[in-house]
Structure 1
């Protein structure tokens, strides 16, 4: 098969790494890709949100299968256009991808499906939003309704922070994403990521993972797109997994089917666990980043078979062969992230020959005349597997410490909850 991956981050590098190992993969393209992806796929200068260009490229290169990595092309309807043009595509329709593209849509979906989630209210003006905050008090959660590249959520521990977040949203800090705001009850507990493949009818839960959102050790500092993660997450027991599937995921997917907008792809359910009960924090319409790096490292080549089964509607017959192992990923980010940061800094990577249990997945990197340089906020994700989480962690950090990049930083405590 000739396969095209849309996207250019760490998630897409992990997908490309796993897919390239499957004998079904003859030729692999990625648009736009990055310096790491370029080592295993042909990177092409195409905007993944421009469906016309994507379809034209697919026709010129006899593409058999398209995998959409990030949320923006899904929200733009690229999956719909590809399927209408006759291309087998992994990723939900624009209508189904609203579970991520609109926080208000997901809250209403949960209401209709009876899925447990935080109490909320939605606003299109600052004044009533601020009045609601004054009445509710803090802690409280402020969310820009639309896609904000992971930066539109504020967990406000005091009212002043909450009011500032409201001003940020309605002053245009997040563009059109902040034109409407969802204010939620603060949920205490332990958060975990559940990924479920679904072809619109059948459901196949994948391994759990736990992400570390805060920038600094001890879960301090601002929220980020994710500074590291590990899998599996002990907090998601089999009992809680069954509960989440039956009370949250299955009813919401059924509601989408009833609306004639079935979800086909991977549904990422962020769950809050407290007192033996799971509630939904958010849905995403794609693999998480950096959780995808963990899942691909543990699944390997079989990932492609599962993605194809999902896209073809044959997921009911599919199974995952999980090794009895653990995986951890440590993100290296540019100093200053998630605020302002420098680009174009030289990076030196260690030689990993003979170390099959560890991979360095690239996110924000670029090749400039043969020199690897930084080109984003989150730049690298060192991902390692081991018989135990501690073994995986020790291996990952041993590689992190060998990376020559003075301008980068990373957390030293990834996996602390489980360890």
Structure 2
């Protein structure tokens, strides 16, 4: 089968490499100039993805990575021309980017409401906090902002959120929300949508978004994740499955994740991801018995109905290099640094998922815009064992200036997993 990747920065490099290893033909179009080295020497790169539509044909698959640059509307357009497309849709883009819109739809489905306040003016938000002092979470709507533009307030009167807004005002006309801070267990539920229904089983995931161990520092896209497909049906039916009627008929085919806070008062949805998240796809990969090519064929109606997964836990650790968590648009950090994996055996290498990596003079080297270098995974019947496997592999990899959090999964092992069970997140 032929696969065409359409991407700004080629975050899904590991996925394209797995498709290649399965025997499929793969081409990738990368639009970001500073991502020119990502995948170099590893995959077939094309300049203009539209020029490869005839090559894909009506029995190939086009994969879109992003929710920006009107990609959702473009996907709807080319689906209308008869091509098989996986990634998102215009509706999915809006669910992810328009936070207030998504919360309104979720409220109509019976989820809690009244805890989200939308603004398009910084001064109005500051005045709101002064009148309604409380602990808030600031989140910017739209795709054109970095994760560290968001801020989780710490003070009960909201003074720190006001200070952040004063020091870094949101661009005029850009919409953003203040969300009441809600204490509880943060968990995501994700599944693949085939245009009509979600494929089961769904996954549960616990993301680690801050830069430093101990949940210190700025918010990043993600530093590591713990995930499972085991005992996820009950929570899926109470959350993401309810969204299927909203997606049905919108042309959306791809992965959808709903992140939420769960506490004794109920389930409080936070946000959608309506695309393949990085490094989320890499953490799920070793738990999926169905190969990526077969899964994509199933989602587009070209294959069987099978979708098989493994029981147990996967722990994924993200190894980054500078300029992460910024980009090379802001920080002039070098690329082309050597990635040395001589100590890894064959099993270890199956758990290495390249991000921004290329090949130069026969060697793997760092590349790309952000410094998302790779994800290292471990899989076992317990979180602690999976965590140990992942870190033993990470220790064998040498990347100049490479860094990663040393506590991925610690909170779950230390009590959050038991609380998750008590809150009814598992079962069914």
TM-score band w.r.t. shorter chain = 0.7 to 0.9
2:57 is aligned with 1:66: no
Name the counterpart of 2:13: 13
1:80-136 residue CA offsets vs partner (Å, 9 max, x unmatched): 232133211112321332111211221222233333367111111122211112233
**Which one of the candidate residues 154, 159, 162 is aligned to 1:157?**
154
Matches within 5 A, 1:17-416: 17-22=17-22, 25-32=23-30, 37=39, 41-45=43-47, 53-60=48-55, 62=57, 64-72=60-68, 75-116=71-112, 119-147=115-143, 148-158=145-155, 159-167=158-166, 170-172=169-171, 179-205=174-200, 206-232=202-228, 238=232, 241-246=233-238, 248-257=239-248, 261=250, 263-275=252-264, 277-299=266-288, 301-312=290-301, 318-335=305-322, 337-339=324-326, 342-344=333-335, 346-351=337-342, 352-355=344-347, 358-368=350-360, 370=362, 372-375=365-368, 376-416=370-410
* Secondary structure of the structure 2 residue equivalent to 1:251: helix
Q: 1:107 to 1:66 in 2, by over 3 A?
A: same
What is the distance in 2 between the residues matched to 1:28 and 1:313?
Answer: 17
On the 8 A contact 1:14/1:297 being kept in 2, the answer is no
On the 8 A contact 2:298/2:306 being kept in 1, the answer is no
On the 8 A contact 1:188/1:274 being kept in 2, the answer is yes
Q: 1:335 to 1:65 in 2, by over 3 A?
A: closer
Unaligned runs of 5+ in 2: 414-428
Q: 1:210 to 1:252 in 2, by over 3 A?
A: same
* Secondary structure of the structure 2 residue equivalent to 1:210: strand
Unaligned runs of 5+ in 1: 46-52
On the 8 A contact 1:4/1:29 being kept in 2, the answer is yes
- Two-structure CA RMSD over aligned residues (Å): 3.0
On the 8 A contact 1:360/1:380 being kept in 2, the answer is yes
1:265-321 residue CA offsets vs partner (Å, 9 max, x unmatched): 22111121212732211101112221210111221553332322223398xx73432
What is the distance in 1 between the residues matched to 2:114 and 2:194?
Answer: 27
Q: 1:382 to 1:34 in 2, by over 3 A?
A: farther
Q: What is the TM-score normalised by the length of structure 1? A: 0.83
* Secondary structure of the structure 1 residue equivalent to 2:259: strand
Q: What is the TM-score normalised by the length of structure 2? A: 0.82
Q: 1:118 to 1:232 in 2, by over 3 A?
A: farther
Q: How many residues align structurally?
A: 397
Q: 1:164 to 1:78 in 2, by over 3 A?
A: farther
Give how far 1:8 is off: 6.5
Moved more, 122-131 or 156-165: 156-165
What is the distance in 2 between the residues matched to 1:355 and 1:9?
Answer: 28
